[in-house]
Amino acid sequence: MGNLNLAFEIAEKHLDIPKMLDAEDIINTPKPDERAIMTYVSCFYHAFAGAEQAETAANRICKVLGVNQENEKLMEEYEKLASELLEWIRRTTPWLENRAAEKTMVEMQRKLEDFRDYRRMHKPPKVQEKCQLEISFNTLQTKLRISNRPAFMPSEGKMVSDIASAWQGLDGAEKGYEEWLLTEIRRLERLDHLAEKFCQKATTHETWASGKELILSQKDYETATLTEVRALLRKHEAFESDLAAHQDRVEQIAAIAQELNELDYHGVAAVNQRCQSICDLWDQLGTLTQKRREAVERTEKLLETIDQLFLEFAKRSAPFNNWMEGAMEDLQDMFIVHTIDEVQSLISAHEQFKATLPEADGERQAILGIHNEVQKISQSYGIKANLLNLYSTITTEELLAKWDKVKKLVPQREGSLQEELARQHTNERLRRQFATQANLIGPWIQTRMEEIGSCSLEVGGTLEDQMTQLKQFEHIIVTYKPNIDKLEGDHQHIQESLVFDNKHTNYTMEHIRVGWELLLTTIARTINEIETQILTRDAKGISQEQMHEFRSSFNHFDRKKHGAMDTDDFRACLISMGYDLGEVEFARIMMLVDPSATGMVSFQSFIDFMTRETADTDTAEQVVASFRILAADKPYILVEELRRELPPDQAEYCILRMPRYSGPGGSAGALDYTAFSTALYGESDL
């Protein structure tokens, strides 16, 4: 229904076909009226048939007009392309026919580059345009003939034949231009080669000759020494040889300049001017060379007379200068002496040196006389040279300065030796003072060490008697300290005076310090050992007789008297006491008495071992059994039982440290006395 209504509306509105049927009637009628339908359809046919005829007519007209328009466009394009191509040929041909030669190779090469650009860039597109123009002309004529149109006739002078004729003239001019360019470039290459060769040789010669005129005009020989004048003469002879060698180059330069003139080189004026300058300079160099040789030879003869005087001066001044330098070194030499005799020896040598000074002064005056003779000759003959003695670097000023210095150093040296003599007397007094005290203190320290050693090894008295005696020794040692301090002060004075040896004593301050520190350490360690022995005796219940027995055994087997037994001595001691020692058992005992594996057994370790072997010591099992009695055979103990059975402070100690009982049958507040007891003896982790 939508399609039918749309078709009826468009037909009525745009095709002038009135609405003849309703869409509802056609759809709702089982068999619509065929005639009405055919009538409606025929109206559509007639409407479309009329429109098709009009369209066909319009298409035919458009086709004819299109052909004409296309032909006219091709004609216009031909005319335009032909005009542009002919115009380009007319512009290009005169450029190719121009044979005006350039003067330089660069300009001719630029022309060659322009021609190559023309052949490479400008002409190929024009060749393409010419070809396209011929193709367009033939295509246009064919289209006109097919469409029954008259043939195309271009404007006058724009025929294909006209263009071909003009193109042929262009090719002819192009070929002649290229041949001319190559010929002209070869000619300029020859000229440029000759000009470059001229410039190269001229530059080489000018570089060589640069400054030569100034050098030959110098009068450096007037202020030169004899050696320098001789060197200048040898140098001038070498220059004369070099000058002769350059004659050939100058002739070559003139020949090349002549050839450039003959070939009409464009820069021949500059070449001629440069060639003339070179020739003029060459003649000038020859004249100056001869004059310089004569002047240098004359100066050489004048200076030879002075040379002999310089040689004599050098032969006499060198030994004298060496003597003065040695004397200054000796007079300024730092002396290191340690005795009065050494200072006296230096003073005696200095007196002997003073006796040689008059003779040295006579030699000095003779050397200065030679120098004065040289100055007299120089002034008489008007020699301007700065006369230097090449045989010697020594000048009279240096000789005078060194002589003055020697005279000043003599009394200075004498004063220094006297001061050193006084200082050595002072040092000797300090040595004797230190030696007197050191010879007393050293033996005193050794005596105290022996007394302490004999006291610690005594067997007869009690430990308290030994302690009393050691305390007295300690008091004596402390009160002796001022003597050590005084010796330190004397040693400080000696060090400040840089005295390092002392023949009056074998003791050094380092020996005294080490001995004193060892004495203090020994008395403190010995007192500590006696105190420890007293504590061990009281704790283990050892009688005085047992202590004496232990000390006697220890002293007996301490064969090296070091205050400690080595491994072999300790093994012999154990065997003497009846121990049956295997290697394992002895190793176990050594672990007890020497846990640090030093290989030595001290007296305190020996006492600990002996008391551990002989005394009735408590064990962890005994303590556990005692707690079990207090706990009435229970595996745990209560707080009330501890407070009832033990003193208050010990009961609180156990309550704070005893862990809770975690075994079966324990009541609230039960404590584990087994773990506590094993912890006391280091047998648990508590």
Instruction: Quickly list DSSP for 126-171.
Output: HHHHHHHHHHHHHHHHHHHHHTT-PPP-PPTT-SHHHHHHHHHHHH
> pLDDT tens digits, residue range 239-260?
888 888 888 888 888 888 888 7
For 203-212, what is the mean pLDDT? 85
* pLDDT, position 50: 64
- The more confidently predicted of residues 116 and 471 is 471
For the segment 34-56, the average pLDDT, to the nearest whole number, is 78
Give the residue, 458 or 179, on which the prediction is more confident.
179
> Cα separation of 620 and 87, whole Å?
136
Our CA angle for 119, 121, 125, nearest 5°, is: 95
Burial 160-199 (b: 16+ CB within 10 A, else e): eeebeebbeebeebbeebeebbeebbeebeebbebbeebb
Three-class SS state of 389: coil
Q: Residue 155: is its pLDDT beyond 80?
A: no
* φ, ψ for residue 379, nearest 5 deg: -70, -35
Residue 94 has pLDDT above 70, yes or no: yes
pLDDT for position 51:
63
pLDDT in tens, 510-542: 888 898 998 888 888 878 877 877 777 676 666
The pLDDT-based confidence of 686 (bands split at 50, 70, 90) is: very low
Tokens at 439, concatenated: 């010879």
Alpha-helix runs per DSSP H in 382-480? 396-457, 463-479
Q: Is residue 16 pLDDT above 50, yes or no?
A: yes
Provide the CA 201 distance to its chain's centre, in angstroms. 51
pLDDT tens for 438-460 read 888 889 988 888 887 777 665 55
pTM of the predicted protein model: 0.36
In total, the chain counts a number of residues equal to 686
Contact call for residues 44 and 11 (beta carbons, < 8 A): yes
Give the pLDDT mean for 190-207.
83
Tokens representing 254?
């003139």
Closest CA to 657 of 672, 635, 638: 672
Report the half-sphere exposure of 572 (CA within 13 A, side-chain side): 12
- What is the rounded distance in angstroms from the CA atom of residue 231 to the CA atom of residue 219? 14
Token representation of residue 84: 């542009």
pLDDT of residue 543: 64
Average pLDDT over residues 342-371: 83
Per-residue pLDDT of 300-339, as tens digits, reads: 887 888 888 888 888 888 898 898 888 888 778 777 766 7
- Which pLDDT score, from 0 to 100, does residue 685 have? 46
Least confident range of 68-77, 207-216, 279-288, 526-535? 68-77
- Between 134 and 404, the higher pLDDT residue: 404
Q: What is the pLDDT of residue 2?
A: 92
Say yes or no to pLDDT of 143 above 50.
yes
- Is the per-residue pLDDT at 114 higher than 80? no
User: Which helix (H) or strand (E) is 306 found in, with range?
Assistant: helix 268-332
676, 659 Cβ separation under 8 angstroms: yes
Strands 600-602 and 564-566: antiparallel
Instruction: Write the burial class of residue 516 (CB in 10 Å: 0-12 exposed, 13-18 middle, 19+ buried).
Output: buried
Radius of gyration from C-alpha coordinates of the chain: 69
Alpha helices in 497-543 (DSSP H): 509-540
Quickly state the pLDDT bin for 576 (edges 50, 70, 90): confident
**Contact by Cβ (8 Å): 406, 331:** yes
Give the whole-angstrom CA distance, residue 162 versus residue 547: 154
Residue 615, pLDDT > 60, answer no
Check whether 37 has a pLDDT greater than 50.
yes
pLDDT single digits (tens) 641-678: 888 888 888 888 888 888 888 888 778 888 888 888 88
